[in-house]
Amino acid sequence: MNTSSLSIACIRSLVIDQINKSKSGHPGMAIGSAPILYTLFTRHLKADPTHPKWMNRDRFILSAGHASALLYAILHVAGYDLSIDDLKQFRQLDSRTPGHPEIDVTPGVDCSSGPLGQGIAQAVGFALAEQSLKNLYPNGKNIFDHYTYCLCGDGCLQEGLSQESISFAGHQKLNKLILFYDNNNVTLDGSLDLSFSEDVKKRFEACEWEVLEVKDGNDVEEIDKAITKAKISPKPSLIIVHTVIGYGSINQGTSKVHGAPLGEEDGRRAKELYKYNYPPFTVLDEVYQDFKNTFIKRGQEKYQAWENLFNEYQKNYPQEAKKIISAQNNSVLTELYSDDPRFDVGVKEATRQTSKTILQFLHANIHNLIGGSADVAGSVYTKIPNEPFFSPEHREGRTINFGIREFAMASIQNGMLLHGGLRTYVGCFLVFADYLKPAIRMAALERIPAVYIFSHDSIAVGEDGPTHQPVEQLAMLRSIPNVEVFRPCDANEVATAYRLMFAQEDHPVCIILTRQALPTLNGTLTKDREKGGYVVSYEVKHADITIIASGSEVSLAIEAQEKLLKQGIDSRVVSMLSMERFLKQDPSYIKETLGNDYSKRITVEMLSSFGWHKFAPHVMSIDTFGASAPFEDCLKKFNFNSDELVRRIKEIL
């Protein structure tokens, strides 16, 4: 048996062993794809397992995350800090080998994946980041120069997200992106032709991709040739590899090997076919040696060469080198404003307008800030003046027109952040947060500081009507673990929200903005606004009632407060800039702010009441869909005004 056959047999056996031991997992594709990853690692992938976070390594993303056992097997034999004992803990609690790949859990895993399609989209983000970084620094082309590889199956290509991603990648000519398609003709429910018969080659060609094909997925030489060709293509490349799902199993080629362990007997049978008749978890020295001679040797040499290059770079461009290093941890370099700019009290402007001002300021001052919108830059106000769009002709562009592809936009952002070196933001209408929600969840899982700018934040959207008026979207965002949502009530709060959003590095944040103008308040000048919730108007210690409001409803609440005062009713208004942040404060501060008596509180938000009862038993909200009408008429229809709030409060008291 030649070396590569032996190594592939070993890797396949490790897949079988992991899944058999844990009695859970997806062996089919993991076994079938083994020669792809083997060829990639031993002949092409530039990475040094002793420096798994090297910024110029090639990236590999397993979009078909259910084939995780394959990735773990190969990371082990390739010398990453992942032991046989780790493999034995496959899918066990707190192990380094979870069911689907998780970033920061396993050395060598560049990206979390599992929800189908999202690996491809994130890979596009990695490839975009590489192109962007090259042009962000003088002579950056030497420092950032790597490929992004991705492996997907049928599932990823059926998901619409894949189309958004490949159309964008083709349009952007992200030529250093290479996608393997494990074409095994089987899905969970049976044969692929039950649901899928499109011409994948043609579809990718239509989207400006290079398409290569490997007829025999066990043929290392053919896979190698395809990768070599793909690397020099001026377009992103798809390599279609025809494989046999569960190769070697008695059920090979059927859906029976998709999601169930082979079991001992069938496992032994498969290993016999591979001619790898060893006890479970055996790795022959020849296999380790194979990877040492190829992958590890190449990786270490490349790493060393790059180190030398970067040392040279540091001498020639000390400032830039410093920026490059510190940008790696996603942190925003400049202490831009420890205190927020002041806005004139009483001046009315839409919070999307203030957002525009701040965003343009950040853009001018944070050299590695890049972002864009899903074709609504002119409405969400993410346009940066005198700045070319990022494009094949303008790789230096730091604004991106993602097209009308919300989900891909957000997933690409995830990839860019995971790549490292950039800070990012993306924007669209709040109601279309629905389209990209799965990507926010992924960002939250990955603990990356993705920034979402959502404007047009209530029924005040007006004429576009119920399909365009958010109601429950804010509840949806607030309910995602590890996500922080800001809904500023005026210019001061917008500035604070931006500062807090970009100051952190470990979770996604959303800022929710109005289309309509809001007055800049006096009460928002307090430092307490950083606490997420605070008394914004009338510091009354024993108010009869606490009105808790957010965004556009804070000024409405203050209006009601004035009316109540004339009727002898003392109230306080709390601005709830961010529930999540507020709830992290000291319990005594929380209590003091809200007032002791739960029954004497009311919340006001022109969106769903869902989730607000944590703060108050009384809610003024919109719990039905909106209506198409000028926004003043909408508000009238839903009786959303300070008089109604006053009426309700008097009823409570």
Supply the minimum distance, in Å, between the C-beta of residue 387 and a copy of itself: 13
601-604 vs 618-620, strand pairing mode: parallel
Out of 116, 223, 240, 510, the only residue in the binding site for a copy of itself (CB under 8 A) is 116
Q: Does 387 bind a copy of itself (CB under 8 A)?
A: no
The one segment of 34-42, 188-196, 347-355, 488-496 that binds a copy of itself by CB under 8 A: 188-196
Nearer residue to a copy of itself within complex by CB, 18 or 555: 18
Q: Does 435 bind a copy of itself (CB under 8 A)?
A: yes
Question: Which tokens in the block code for residue 147?
Answer: 């490929």
Whether 114 and 66 have beta carbons less than 8 Å apart is answered as yes
| Span 438-497, contacts to a copy of itself by CB under 8 A | 438, 441-442, 444-445, 462-468, 471-472, 475-476, 478-482
Name residues whose C-beta falls within 8 Å of residue 504's C-beta, 6 or more positions apart in sequence.
449, 484
Q: Does 517 bind a copy of itself (CB under 8 A)?
A: no
Nearer residue to a copy of itself within complex by CB, 228 or 467: 467
Q: Does 397 bind a copy of itself (CB under 8 A)?
A: no
Phi, psi angle pair for 191, to nearest 5°: -70, 140
Instruction: Residue 574: count other Cβ atoms within 10 Å of its Cβ.
Output: 25
Q: Does 595 bind a copy of itself (CB under 8 A)?
A: no
Nearest Cα neighbor of 509 from 526, 529, 532, 525 is 532
Encoded one letter per residue, x for contact with a copy of itself by CB under 8 A and - for no contact, window 544-563 reads: --------------------
Q: Which residue has the tokens 């804070």?
A: 554
Out of 141, 637, 647, 650, the only residue in the binding site for a copy of itself (CB under 8 A) is 637
533-537 vs 369-373, strand pairing mode: unpaired
Question: Can you tell me the distance from the alpha carbon of 594 to that of 590, in angstroms, rounded to the nearest whole number?
Answer: 6
Encoded one letter per residue, x for contact with a copy of itself by CB under 8 A and - for no contact, window 243-282 reads: ------------x---------------------------
Q: Which residue has the tokens 């032709």?
A: 193
Q: Does 590 bind a copy of itself (CB under 8 A)?
A: no
Q: Which residue has the tokens 């864009």?
A: 372
| Span 303-362, contacts to a copy of itself by CB under 8 A | none
Nearest Cα neighbor of 412 from 80, 653, 129 is 129
Q: Does 566 bind a copy of itself (CB under 8 A)?
A: no
Out of 138, 190, 234, 318, the only residue in the binding site for a copy of itself (CB under 8 A) is 190
CA distances from 144 to 129, 174, 211, 228, 319 (A): 9, 14, 25, 20, 17
Nearer residue to a copy of itself within complex by CB, 244 or 439: 439
Whether 10 and 41 have beta carbons less than 8 Å apart is answered as no
Whether 628 and 464 have beta carbons less than 8 Å apart is answered as yes
Catalytic residue among 406, 446, 484, 553, which?
406
| Span 93-112, contacts to a copy of itself by CB under 8 A | 93-95, 98-100, 102, 112
Out of 83, 138, 139, 194, the only residue in the binding site for a copy of itself (CB under 8 A) is 194
Nearer residue to a copy of itself within complex by CB, 198 or 651: 198
Nearer residue to a copy of itself within complex by CB, 158 or 526: 158
Out of 203, 268, 269, 648, the only residue in the binding site for a copy of itself (CB under 8 A) is 203
Nearer residue to a copy of itself within complex by CB, 431 or 547: 431
Question: Is 580 labeled as catalytic in the residue annotation?
Answer: no
The one segment of 224-232, 405-413, 414-422, 510-518 that binds a copy of itself by CB under 8 A: 405-413
| Span 6-65, contacts to a copy of itself by CB under 8 A | 22, 24-25, 65
Out of 34, 161, 287, 489, the only residue in the binding site for a copy of itself (CB under 8 A) is 161
The one segment of 274-282, 402-410, 449-457, 563-571 that binds a copy of itself by CB under 8 A: 402-410
Supply the minimum distance, in Å, between the C-beta of residue 50 and a copy of itself: 26
Question: Can you tell me the distance from the alpha carbon of 576 to that of 594, in angstroms, rounded to the nearest whole number?
Answer: 10
Q: Does 189 bind a copy of itself (CB under 8 A)?
A: yes
The one segment of 30-38, 87-95, 235-243, 341-349 that binds a copy of itself by CB under 8 A: 87-95
387 burial class (0-12, 13-18, 19+ CB within 10 angstroms)?
A: middle
Supply the minimum distance, in Å, between the C-beta of residue 431 and a copy of itself: 8
Nearer residue to a copy of itself within complex by CB, 564 or 634: 634
Supply the minimum distance, in Å, between the C-beta of residue 552 and a copy of itself: 20
484-486 vs 618-620, strand pairing mode: unpaired
Nearer residue to a copy of itself within complex by CB, 173 or 298: 173
The one segment of 287-295, 359-367, 606-614, 640-648 that binds a copy of itself by CB under 8 A: 606-614
Name residues whose C-beta falls within 8 Å of residue 475's C-beta, 6 or more positions apart in sequence.
607, 608, 610, 611
Out of 15, 226, 262, 408, the only residue in the binding site for a copy of itself (CB under 8 A) is 408
Supply the minimum distance, in Å, between the C-beta of residue 574 and a copy of itself: 17
The one segment of 142-150, 361-369, 378-386, 518-526 that binds a copy of itself by CB under 8 A: 378-386
Nearer residue to a copy of itself within complex by CB, 345 or 404: 404
Out of 281, 310, 317, 389, the only residue in the binding site for a copy of itself (CB under 8 A) is 389
Question: Which tokens in the block code for residue 504?
Answer: 């952190």
Three-state secondary-structure class, residue 433: helix
Instruction: Residue 67: count other Cβ atoms within 10 Å of its Cβ.
Output: 29
Question: Can you tell me the distance from the alpha carbon of 119 to that of 100, in angstroms, rounded to the nearest whole number?
Answer: 12
Q: Which residue has the tokens 């490949």?
A: 166
Which residues, in sequence order, are bridge partners of residue 238?
Answer: 179, 211
Q: Which residue has the tokens 């055996």?
A: 282
Instruction: Residue 305: count other Cβ atoms within 10 Å of its Cβ.
Output: 10
215-218: Cβ within 8 A, 24+ apart: 215/242, 216/242, 217/32, 217/33, 217/35, 217/36, 217/182, 217/241, 217/242, 217/243, 217/244, 218/8, 218/35, 218/243, 218/244, 218/247
Supply the minimum distance, in Å, between the C-beta of residue 323 and a copy of itself: 29
Q: Label residues 338-350 b or e (16+ Cβ within 10 Å = b).
A: eebeebeeeeebb
Nearer residue to a copy of itself within complex by CB, 403 or 519: 403
Q: Does 605 bind a copy of itself (CB under 8 A)?
A: no
Question: Alpha helices, DSSP H only, in 505-552?
Answer: none
Three-state secondary-structure class, residue 62: strand
Out of 107, 629, 644, 652, the only residue in the binding site for a copy of itself (CB under 8 A) is 629
Nearer residue to a copy of itself within complex by CB, 140 or 155: 155
Nearest Cα neighbor of 119 from 76, 82, 147, 149 is 149
Nearest Cα neighbor of 124 from 82, 188, 175 is 175
Out of 6, 200, 250, 345, the only residue in the binding site for a copy of itself (CB under 8 A) is 200
- Tell me which residues are annotated as active site: 406
